[in-house]
Structure 1
Amino acid sequence: MTPSSSQPHISQGPSAATSSSRRTLLRTALTGAALTAGSWAWDLPAASAASAAPRADEKQRPATPAAALRELNAGNRRWRTHHERHPHESLAVRREMVTGQHPFAVVLGCIDSRVAPELVFDQGLGDLLTVRSAGEVLDEAVLGSVAYGVLELGIPLVVVLGHQSCGAVSAAVHAEQTGEPLPAHIQYIADQIKPAIDHSHEGPARIDATVSAQVRRVRSQLAAEPDLATRIRAGRLAIVGARYELTSQLVHPID
């Protein structure tokens, strides 16, 4: 993740016209009609979450930021109350996936093995485009992966998902405090998280506050990307920040 003064950008390729034509062709083939706008909020009452939970088949893909967020909300409620459905794992779905994919949300999360997006949101094959890097660090490869989901697959929602007790954040805080270099390429991760370190707290509270600060930082960087910002203004895309709490299995928003 680069400082905000030098935001990463996706290369437009050798020809803007060629790139535009390619994107149009891919979107037509993979997503169909354009997404429509809708209002949304993170949390849902229990009754609303339950009613939003079922999806009969892959064709009922959430098509707006609001619908996608409701689906994730409902899935996390199932996960944390031990009512998982493990959807879209059947033989018929696996065969259908051979011909294409239509995920409804991008989840940019940490590599932590305890925070698998398909599990914590109770989703299945073809539902989520997951991009994972330690501490949600945003570099060109990660940014390009998120942009592919939004621009080429027409995904209406991006969730930047941090989590409680993040080892990457802890390492970054420790490295800054001690000045001790981290081995191999791990120092790169710490350097990218360093601008988000919250010095208004001490000890474990600093690590916890930095987890949320890193989510906000990455979310802001993504929202500042011109191609993504255009979709946000049109109501076709929402980029939200969230945290997963290991102790409660709750996903909740980061303002």
Structure 2
Amino acid sequence: MSIQDTQLNLSRRSLLKFGAGAIGTGVVTAGLGSNLLAAEKAPAEDEITPDKALQELLDGNDRFVKRKRRNGNQTYSRLVEVAKGQKPFASILGCADSRVPSEIVFDQGLGDLFVCRVAGNIATAEEIGSLEFGSLVLGSKVIMVVGHERCGAVEAAIKGAQVPGQIGSLLEAIKPSVESSKEQSGDKLENACKANILLQIKKLKSSPVLSKLIDEEKLTIAGGYYDLDTGKISLVN
């Protein structure tokens, strides 16, 4: 058996051991190369706890808000370093909105964040599979679902907008959040945005792969609400 075959067999066993059959075939195939091998060989000293990973995100956002960004891990030497393999400490499920770029608002750099972005920050099967991969294989210790102020997708769901193409599938995924928050006092759009964050967290926690990592205290999932006017991310519980 060749070295390459041995490596692939080891990688497959690593996935099966944790019950990762739910991860989409395309995602697994993409990761069965250098990413899996790098994750298996990652040095133990790089490990941080889920709580510390969450705090690092919040600290980075605080630097961004206070205009004290360090712009860490954005050098050419860092590019060369992570070209050999990645081990992001955090994953982000964020909205595709162009005003909320994760690496900037969290003051992170190359190889730090595993980011999935989709309009309305919804947890589709593909997004969940990607985040399972980011946590189980790459070792991300926290997943933050980041919604934001004045989200156009959530607003369209509130209005029941008639939209062309596949846009409607996004709105359908958000509608339960609109319903669950409609009796709340205060700003209707903000309430629905925050309810949507919590709904997507619930979907992520229903994943057997992610729930097992949470039970083993290897992962935490949190919600964040981004203020477009200030850049501040506040936790949503």
The alignment's C-alpha RMSD in Å is 2.3
Change (3 A) 1:95 1:27: closer
22-31 vs 82-91, which moves further = 22-31
- Please give the per-residue CA displacement for 1:107-147, whole angstroms capped at 9, x wherever unaligned: 10000111111011000000000100111112111111111
Structure 2 counterparts to residues 43-122 of structure 1, below 5 A:
61=46, 63-122=48-107
Q: Is the 8 A contact 2:11 2:36 kept in 1?
A: no
- Please give the per-residue CA displacement for 1:19-58, whole angstroms capped at 9, x wherever unaligned: 85153786563154698xxxxxxxxxxxxxxxxxxxxxxx
Cα distance in 2 for residues equivalent to 1:114 and 1:171: 18
Q: Is the 8 A contact 1:87 1:123 kept in 2?
A: yes
Structure 2 counterparts to residues 140-159 of structure 1, below 5 A:
140-159=125-144
Structure 1, unaligned runs of 5 or more? 1-16, 36-59
Output the TM-score relative to the length of structure 2: 0.81
SS in 2 for 1:136: coil
Question: 1:173 is matched with which residue?
Answer: 158
Question: 2:115 is matched with which residue?
Answer: 130
Question: 2:6 is matched with which residue?
Answer: none
Q: Is the 8 A contact 2:38 2:85 kept in 1?
A: no
Output the TM-score relative to the length of structure 1: 0.76
Cα distance in 1 for residues equivalent to 2:204 and 2:11: 20
Q: Is the 8 A contact 2:38 2:84 kept in 1?
A: no
Question: 2:228 is matched with which residue?
Answer: 246
Q: Which runs of 4+ in 1 moved over 6 A?
A: none
Residue 139 (str. 1) matches residue 124 (str. 2): yes
SS in 2 for 1:134: coil
The one-letter code matched in structure 2 to 1:225 is S
* Deviation, structure 1 residue 66: 1.4
Question: 1:233 is matched with which residue?
Answer: 215
Percent identity, aligned pairs only, is: 33
Q: Which of residues 183, 195, 201 in structure 1 aligns to 2:164?
A: 183
SS in 1 for 2:116: strand
Q: Is the 8 A contact 1:243 1:251 kept in 2?
A: yes
The one-letter code matched in structure 2 to 1:108 is L
- Please give the per-residue CA displacement for 1:174-216, whole angstroms capped at 9, x wherever unaligned: 11xxxx52121111111110011021158x8221101000000
Q: Is the 8 A contact 2:146 2:224 kept in 1?
A: yes
Residue 21 (str. 1) matches residue 13 (str. 2): yes
Question: 1:39 is matched with which residue?
Answer: none
Question: 2:3 is matched with which residue?
Answer: none
Change (3 A) 1:61 1:72: farther
Number of residue-to-residue matches in the alignment: 210
Structure 2, unaligned runs of 5 or more? 1-8, 18-31
Cα distance in 2 for residues equivalent to 1:182 and 1:171: 9
